[in-house]
A and B are shown apart, each in its own frame.
Chain A
Amino acid sequence: MTQAAFNSFLVALLLVPAVTFILRRWKKARVIPSSLLLLSLITGLFVAGISFWSGKHLAVDLSQWTPFPFALSIDRLSAFFLFLICVVAVPVTLFSSSYIERHYAGARRDWLWSLLPLFLMSMVLVVTASSAFAFLFGWELMTLFSAGLIVVDGDSQERRHNIFIYLLMMHAGAAAVVAAFLLFVPQAPALDFAQMRTSIALMPQSFRTAVFLLAFTGFGTKAGIIPLHLWLPKAHPIAPTPVSALMSAVMLKTAIYGFVRFGFDFLGPGPAWWGYLVLVAGGFSGVLGILYAIGEHDLKRLLAYSSVENIGIIYLALGTGLVFQANHAPIWATLALLAGLLHCLNHAIFKGLLFLGAGAISDSAHTLDLEELGGLLKRMRITGTAFLIACCSIAGLPLLNGFVSEWLLFRSFLAASGLTTLTGATMLPLAAGVLALVGGLAAACFAKVYGVAFLGRPRSDEAETACEVPRPMQIGMVLLAAACVVIGVAPGLVLAPLSATVQEFLPGAAMPQEAASLSAVIPWIALSVAVLVLAIASVRRIKRLTPTWACGLPALNSRMQYTATAFSKPLRQVFSRAYKPNRTVEVLPADQPYFPASISYRSVRTTSFEKSLYQPAIDAVVITAHRLRRLQTGNMQVYLLYIFAALIALLMFMRWS
């Protein structure tokens, strides 16, 4: 039954593009592709849910057709990530069903509707694959289709550059992943996951380390940990908003999936420094990511950077898990992994919601520049409320899902007090400090976002005339908001099967009592807070509208409000080392600086990795290429000399071998 549902899910995903192209001429059939996609995704959601909560394994094997074993199988981990994909994809599809219709027409709409399911399909392949070939197949297609979706959205010099960087980095990362897989070949010729799992015992330690480092780099590139994050803030903002939602919320998680598969499932316990490496990378990504986010005032780029931050948090969790695993503390490793995996789900939900919110904003206010927004809550109540919930949960505030995973992570840091090694016992608790800082900064960042975009008075006419988005988009956002609250108030629902999931691939794992204790106390807190709030709010308070206090001035205008830039100024001042701003003050006319006609001030922030890390590498390659090009002189006699030289070289080689 479930099996059949799963197969039909896959088939349906493949059908949607065909349907789109068959029906593209027929006006009345507009809704068919979206609804078919929605239907199939709901099926997938059920399949994933069933096998995640009941631990039912599914398998599809196409090996007799394909040149290499091409097998899909769903164990609990795959089911969890499949669930994650569908849980985000359903609202996103609902949202797009009206968003795409409103913003795209003709061929571009058809392309979107046919690439979207393929993109989802490729991600499903990645998380359900049980053989290297299938995994890599999905992995590469995921990049291609997402790039295709970006391309459909428009064409400009900058976009081209960003897409180029995106594809290039993805391909390099994929190469690392391929290498990581291939290192298993000597032990597991078929590269079938089960075989790889068993063959790890035969693999020498040096190889394991190589595999780990390759997997760390490869998946790190996809996940966007600093300094491999360069593509992320470039590629995510330029995609169509629902696609950005999918990329940020889901696609990054497939990298986490791959890393968990390798780091925990295949490789098993390794040296502790693996864990510390991941921990440090996570810490850096977390702090720098959120700092860059605070500096932004383009909403989508801000969200992209905050994805870097959340990936950093997830890596903190995974690193902690690795450390505990290396120290033979499986139960605490379970705790850390719970935190990490749950944060994957949470981030998927609230980041998806935030991107959809951004889509709604751009839909009604036609801009994503925070400085142009303001006071949207009064005009878009549903969107605003959903967005508020999302902001609270990404800031890690209690009673919402973001808090749960961060709390679990804190507790797993605390558990380090039981470690025997000094490094562990100091580094992990200090990581708690890092996490606290990240949490605080995230709260600051999203207080800024919400306060500037949705509260106060509108800063532009577009914001003034903004109005609520159509129903389907609202429903999409509300669904995700509801998910935030549910997980936040009753985490036990997810934690129990999740720890069962971890037990499936982590030897000696067990449900840590912390998880239980949290799910015991959170509902009480929620209850008491709710009761108090309702009680106090129910007390009638007389309310009178009076203009805002303007220090005696006639009236305030929106330009007197604090801007996003101003809001984040103190923090940027304190952490100015993290940003490398190059400021330019332009005084016109130049010849009389004391009587300027205009003074313009620009401050462009580059992440400084591009300048100091990537550009040199690229330059080196290109310069080498140019040098080589000079060898091809065009003079045939030189060519003949090359031949003779090659001959002589080989003869020498022959003598000496």
Chain B
Amino acid sequence: MTIAINVVQVLMLVLMAPLVRGVIARIKARIQNRRGASVLRPYSDLAKLFHKEDLVPPSASFVFRLAPVVMFAVTVVAAAFIPVLRSSALLGIRGDFFILVYVLALGRFFLLLGAMDGGSSFGGMGASREVLVSTLAETPLLLALMSLAMVAHTASIEKMVLWTTGQDFFELSAVHALAFAAMALVAIAETGRIPVDNPTTHLELTMIHEAMVLEYSGPSLALIEWAGAIKLTVIMALLVGLFLPWGMAATFSLPAVAIALVLWLVKLGGMALALALVESSVAKLRMYLVPDFLGVASALAILAVVFTALMR
């Protein structure tokens, strides 16, 4: 039964990811007084891409085609760490957030290599920018998670979620506030959203992620896009799980699970709305302001850790 639900969770995250993107895009469009495309648009994009053929530069080696696959695979595996409906996940019990973070890093590493395999200057440019962002994002992310883990006295995501469910929302410490702020900023950077990166641009002065995947096409591109969507969803789900997990099903009873699902969707929607608001109200940062942006995140995370130590 548990296994079943856990598998369902993973499938949900993987399959709903494009929808989340679609929703965000739709909301943004509405905020900008456009009608916007249907929320299901990403699905049809993926489908189209999957039917196209792979265009491979002559200079490229097997890494070029391996990268998207690895990227997708590890993102799916990462999804298996996240409790959604119940405070349990497929790899949740032993899999802690260090593994989660580094599994995602594995995918990114391969994407970097793939980008540089194209042999164009865009790939290298995108890779070097991506590497800057991700390197600087890793510290605050891990520190923030660290502080939460220290509060909850466990490293396993599942147990951390469980611990938070045990708390009363209004008794959550400053640590959580700080950690949440830090992680939100990091999440924006990690998923390449405004103000760090603009997923819809193709202007080489500004683009980071898009420059990396410029050489990709067809199924490979589809895998990358899908993986990106999953990553976004996974991180949102992680935030939800860590900071407002209340309402997760405590028992296996169908209504409980159903309520949990509904609540979860609502939370996710809320986050999507927030993200869309941020994206359409903030201007994109200059490249060399991104370190400052992440510096703020790091400062918040360090504060969170210090507070945890102080408030024992």
Contact = CB atoms under 8 A, between A and B. Distances in A.
A and B touch in the complex (CB under 8 A): yes
Nearest to A532: B73
A440 B109 contact: no
B22 interface: no
Contacts of B95: 521, 525
Interface string A560-580: 111100111111011000000
A414 B153 CA distance: 9
A141 to B, nearest CB: 41
B287 A570 contact: yes
B34 interface: no
Contact of A439 (B66, B138, B214): B138
Interface in A410-433: 410-411, 413-414, 417-418, 422, 425-426, 429-430, 432-433
A521 B96 CA distance: 10
A594 interface: no
B289 to A, nearest CB: 11
Contacts of A541: 53-54, 65, 218-220
B132 to A, nearest CB: 4
A561 B103 contact: no
A536 B54 CA distance: 14
B121 A562 contact: yes
Contacts of A537: 66, 69
B301 interface: yes
Chain A, interface SS category: helix
Contact of B61 (A384, A539, A573): A384
B109 A443 contact: yes
Contacts of A429: 143, 146-147, 150, 305, 308-309
A532 B112 contact: no
Contacts, number: 253
A638 interface: no
Nearest to B73: A532
Contacts of A536: 69, 72-73, 223
Interface string B109-139: 1001101111111111101110110111111
B113 A450 contact: yes
Contacts of A451: 112-113, 115-117, 124, 127
Contact of A397 (B77, B109, B141, B218): B109
Contact of A525 (B103, B120, B312): B103
Given A455-B61, A456-B117, A562 B123 contact: yes
Contact of A545 (B58, B91, B94): B58
Interface in A572-591: 573-574
Given A566-B128, A567-B127, A574-B291, A455 B63 contact: yes
Given A457-B59, A517-B94, A567-B128, A528 B80 contact: yes
B102 A533 contact: no
A566 B123 CA distance: 12
B298 interface: yes
Chain B, interface SS category: helix
Contact of A403 (B53, B102, B153, B312): B102
Contacts of A396: 102
B199 interface: no
B238 interface: no
B98 interface: yes
Contacts of A544: 53-56
B149 A414 contact: yes
Contacts of B155: 411, 414
A550 interface: yes
Nearest to B112: A447
Given A529-B74, A560-B121, A521 B135 contact: no
Contacts of B119: 375, 455-457, 548, 556, 558, 561
B99 interface: yes
A345 B69 CA distance: 31
Contacts of A520: 94
B302 interface: yes
Contact of A430 (B59, B124, B143, B220): B143
Interface string A505-524: 00000000000011011001
B53 to A, nearest CB: 4
Contacts of B138: 436-437, 439-440
B128 A569 contact: yes
A403 B62 CA distance: 24
B276 interface: no
B57 interface: yes
B310 A549 contact: no
A444 interface: yes
A528 B128 contact: no
Interface in B60-100: 60-66, 69-70, 72-74, 76-77, 80, 91, 94-96, 98-99
A399 interface: yes
B113 A525 contact: no
A634 interface: no
Contacts of A547: 57-58
A432 B116 CA distance: 30
Contacts of B298: 433
B215 A549 contact: yes
A543 B56 contact: yes
Given A413-B146, A456-B117, A525-B95, A447 B127 contact: yes
Contact of B309 (A397, A422, A444, A548): A422
B170 interface: no
A549 B69 CA distance: 22
A548 B211 CA distance: 13
Nearest to B95: A521
Interface string A391-414: 010011111000100010011011
B116 A455 contact: yes
B125 A562 contact: yes
A542 interface: yes
Contacts of B109: 392, 395, 397, 443, 447
A635 interface: no
B176 to A, nearest CB: 15
A550 B120 contact: yes
Contacts of B113: 388, 447, 450-451, 455
Interface of B: 53-66, 69-70, 72-74, 76-77, 80, 91, 94-96, 98-99, 102-103, 105-106, 109, 112-113, 115-125, 127-129, 131-132, 134-143, 146-147, 149-150, 153, 155, 214-215, 218-220, 223, 287-288, 291, 298, 301-302, 305-306, 308-310, 312
Given A377-B63, A436-B138, A440-B105, 6 more contacts: A399-B106, A425-B312, A426-B306, A433-B298, A561-B124, A562-B116
10 contacts: A399-B106, A433-B140, A440-B137, A455-B63, A455-B64, A456-B124, A537-B66, A544-B53, A549-B122, A566-B124
